[in-house]
Structure 1
Amino acid sequence: GATSAAADGGTAGADGAVLPPGTGPDDTAGTARNDAPVAPPGDGAADDGDDRKMPAAEDGGPAPRPPPDAAGGGGRGPRPNPRYDSVRHAIVTNDGARANMIRLVGLKSLFSRQLPKMPKEYIARLVFDRRHKSLAILSADPSKRETDEEIIGGICYRAYPEMRFGEIAFCAVNASQQVKGYGTKLMNLLKMHAVGEGIEYFITYADNYAIGYFKKQGFTKSLQMHKSRYHGYIKDYDGGTVMECYIHPSIDYLRIPEVVAAQREFILQRIRHLSKSDKVKYPALPAGFADRHVSGRNRDVARALAIPGVIEAGWTHRDLLASTRRAKDADQRKSALRAELLAIVSKVSEQQFAWCFRDPVDTDEVADYLDVISDPIDLKTMERRIRRGDWYKSKQMLHVDMVRMVENCKTYNDRGNSYYDHAVSLEKFLPTIFPKRMTEG
C-alpha cells in the first residue's frame, strides 16, 4: 500500500538520524503547510490475493527458494551486536495473546498519531489484520510495560510467502524518540527478520516525504522485481512512488558499518602490498629551482615581469609569486566554505523532520505569515545564497539563519503543534552539525 513513513531522523551510515516524514500538516512543525492528499497504504490482495497462483520464474515470478544454509540465509537470526542487543524489539501479530494485543493497540495509536492523513479505521484494520505483522521497538523502561508508551517505533508489513516479497504499510517512530537512530535500527531489524522468513524483496508506495528515508535504507525507484510478480497483490496509488529493496540473504544488516570498514581496510592493505610509492625516493630539488622553472604558476609571473616598468617598480619574482598564491588561497578558502555550507544545508534537508523547512512559506496559503514573521528564511533560500557566493562569510552566519528558521517556526506555531515539534527536532539536530561553540548559550 501507499506508505507514509514517520520514522526517526539522522545521518546515514552512522546509525544516525533517519526520520521519514509522510506526516501531514497536523503532526509536523515547519514554516509551511502542505495539505496534499496521501493515499492510504493498501492491504494488497487482502481479500482475493491468497487464492492466486505463483507465476513461473521465467514469467516474472520469484526465483526458486535457496536451501536454508545457502549464503547465510534461510532462518539465520541476527548475530550478537552491542549496538542492537540493547534494543528491545518484537514481532507482533494478532494471535490473541494479551501482550501482543496491548502492543498492537500501541502500534495503532503510534501510526494514527504520526500519520494523521491516514484514516484511523484503515490503520486499525491493517494493524489488527492477521495477515499483517509488525516489528516493534520497545522501551526498556519497566514502568512502561503493557502501555502505549512501551512502543518506540514500528513497521507494519504483510508478507507474500509464495511470491517471496513483503509490502510495507506503515513505518513510524514516536516523536519524542526521534533523531536517535531508531528509524535505521527499525529497518535493519526488519531486514534481518525478513531473511529468516525467506523474503527476497520489500516493496512499498512512499509519499513524497518518505522517499528520502527509504533511499537511505536501501530502497530504490528502479524496480528489479518483474511487475507480474507483485501486480494484483498490492494496490497502485496516484501520488505515491513505488520503491523496492532487495534483501540479500548473506548480508548482516546489523553490522553494515563494520563490514564496510573491514572491506575498506582490506582494499587499503592490498594497495599497500602492491604499491611502491612509499619505497621510491628522489634527491631534494636544488635551491631556487622554483624561481628558475618557468611553468604553471611561474609562467604567469614571468609574463608579468616581462611587462615594461614592473621590474623597475620594484616587483620581484618572489613578490608576484606570493601575491598570486594569496589570491589562489583566498579562492580555495571561498570554494571550501561554499562546499561545506552546501553540505550542511543538504544534510539538514535530508532529515525527514525538515521537509517543512525546505521551501519558502506560501503566503497565499498562509495569509498572515508575514504579519507575524518579519524576517522569513528557509533551506532553499539559504542554498541560493550559498551558491551566489557573496552572502555567507562563515559557518557562523549560516548557523544564525538556521536558528532564525527554528525561532520563526516556534513563533508562528503554538507549543504542541506538530510544526512546533519539528522545529524542536531541528533545534536538537543543529549541535550535531555545527561546532559546539556556536550552539552553546
Structure 2
Amino acid sequence: MTAVHILNSPNTENAGPASPAGPGRRVLIATDTYPPDVNGAAYFTHRLAAGLAERGDDVHVVCASDTGPPRGDSADGVTVHRLRSAPLLVHPTMRVSVPAGLGRTMSRLIERVRPDVVHIQGHFVVGRAAVGAARRAGLPVVATNHFMPDNLFQFAHVPAGLRDRVGRMAWRDFTRVFSRADRVTTPTRIAAGLLSAKGFTGEVEAVSCGIDLHRFQPRPWDRSRAFERFGLPDLPTILFVGRLDEEKCLDDLVLALSQVLNRVDAQVVLAGTGGRRAALERLAARTGVGERVRFLGFVADADLPLVYAAADVFAMPGTAELQSIATLEAMASGLPVVAADAMALPHLVDGNGRLYAPGDVRAMARHLTAILTDPGLRAAMGRASLALAAPHDHRRSLARFEEIYAELATRSVKA
C-alpha cells in the first residue's frame, strides 16, 4: 500500500490565533452542500466562507440551489451562486445540482468571478465540475475531504452485502477527482490516513475544521435557562448533537440508557433531525425508557451553546466521524466525552472521557454511569476537554487555508 504523506500544519496544532492576512484574495468555494442544508460539511463550508470574508477575502460560494431554480444571494459577506437543482431521490431533504451543462456553467462562472484559487469541498457534482473548470482556466485547486461512503449507505439503501464493493468504487471515484487538485486537506491525521488506506497516493494535510471558542465555552449559569428553553426536566443529562441517521449508531445510546437508569435517574437528549428518529422513538418505548429520551429536533445554530449548557456528559456513538465538530463543541463547552473507538474520535479523547468498542452497549453504559455519579471525575474530565479543544480555534484553520492559497499563488499548477 502506498503511504500518504500526512502534513500537520503548525497553524492548526501549535500556533496562536493569527491576525487577519494582508491583501485579500478572491476565493471560489465549490460545494454540493451548503446551508440551509443541515450537516457537518455544509456548516464547515459556511464557517469557512464567512470567516474568510470577515478576514478581508472576496469569497464566492457555488452550490446547489435550495429551491430548484438558479439564483444568487449574499449573506455574511459571501456571494453565493446557487445552481439549478433537483431533489436527491435517496435523501429526504437534500438537493443536487443538475449535471447537464454544468461544466460550461462553471467555466462561465469562473470567467466572470476570476478567482485566485478554487477550493472544493467534495468530489460529487459541483466539486467535480469546479475542478474541471479550474484546470481549464489554469487556476490552482485546493480540495478538502469530508466524505466517507458510510454516510451514504443508509440513504442509498445499499444492502450490507454490497457495501464493501460499493465503498471501493466510491473511493476510486474520489481518487480520480482529488488527484487533480494541487493541495488536499482533511480535518485530522486519522482522516488523512484513511485516504492512504483507500488508495489515494498524494500528500494530505490535516487542517482542523475548527470551532468558535468564543461561542462554545462552559456556561454553568445557563443550565437552568437551558432546561426551561428546551422543556427539559432538571436531571443528569447525556447529550448527543447531530443527525439521527444510521452511521451515528444511536440505538446503542438508547440501549445504554436503560442500564444507566439502574444507577442514575438520568435522561438522554438528542438534538438534531434524521431518518432514524421514528425507529429510535420505538426502541425507547420498547425498552421502557421513552420518558427519559428527549428529542429536540432541529436546533438553530444560535441556540447550540445553550444546548451544551444543559448537559453533564456528551455521547458520540458514531463510527464514521472524520473529526466530529459536535464533539469538539461539547469539549469546548467543558463536557466530558464518551465516544466510540472508531475513525477520528480517539483523537479527541485523552483524559477527558472514555472510549468503548463500537457496539459495546454495556461498556458505554458503564462509562456514562461512572461520569454521572462522580462530580470530581466529571469536573476533571471537563477541564481536560477544554485543554484539548483549545488548539482547534477556527481562526487558526482560516489562517492556514489563507497560507495555502498564498503558497499556491507563487507556484505553477497542474495542467
TM-score, length of structure 1 as denominator length: 0.24
Q: Greater relative contact order: 1 or 2 (C-alpha under 8 angstroms, separation 6 or more)?
A: 1
TM-score norm. by structure 2 comes to 0.25
Structure 1 or 2: more strand by fraction: 2
Bigger radius of gyration among the two: 1
